[in-house]
Amino acid sequence: MVVRSNVSHAARDGLHDILRLANTSHGPGAHYRVRARLGDPDHDHLATAGEARTYLGDHEVEIPPGNPRAADLADLRRVRAAACGVVEGGPGAADPDLGPLIERARYRLTPEGRMRPANRGWRGVTDAMLPGLLELDRVRDRLRVCANPACRFLFVDRSRNAARRWCEMAVCGNRVKGRRFRHRLSAASPASG
């Protein structure tokens, strides 16, 4: 269960939104209150227009009224694939599949000096994600995939020694460490023999 926020988020850097888009595809254990079981399917929150709208809105991505069209979902999936590709050493913003999206994107400056997409609606959402790919390239050496195999969220490791393993220590770290502890305990128990 995701807690919904009715407050529209303030303008953020492109990194926030592109990470939210990248994490629309994740393992079954990435939801805080869900206990994933072995064999549970992965989640793709861009599978349907309603899911995309709900997930992105719940994760503070500025979205327009109405659901995205099929073409909008396809565009968002292409940007997501490029974002996830950065972690794997891919081209990121230079991804050739993004060429048509980059060519059609137009931006304007707000009175506060922030760059905003000129296109409205869901095309504007896609356009807003593109600069975030450049930011991902900038932090490429700090990008991590959560070490919880049931989660696999993408995050930026801002720790001093760049050794963070979990998207959230209080959730994924505790789950994996607890699972290991219970496994060791059961292996050491005389009743397990």
Q: pTM for the full model?
A: 0.80
Quick one: which of 172, 152, 184 has its CA closest to 35? 172
The 10s digit of each residue's pLDDT in 70-96 is: 999 999 999 999 999 888 887 777 788
| pLDDT score of 96 | 81
Write out the DSSP string of 128-151.
Answer: HHHHHHHHHHHTGGGEEE-S-TTT
DSSP letter at 117 equals E
- pLDDT for res 147: 87
DSSP 26-88: E-TT-STT----TTPPPEETTSSHHHHHHHHHHTT----SSPPPHHHHHHHHHHHHHHHHHHT
More confident residue, 23 or 167: 23
Asked if 159 and 34 count as a contact pair (C-beta separation under 8 A), the reply is no
CA 30 – CA 42 distance, rounded (Å)? 9
pLDDT digits (tens, 9 = 90+) for 40-72: 899 999 999 999 999 999 999 999 999 999 999
Q: Which residue has the higher pLDDT, 95 or 3?
A: 95
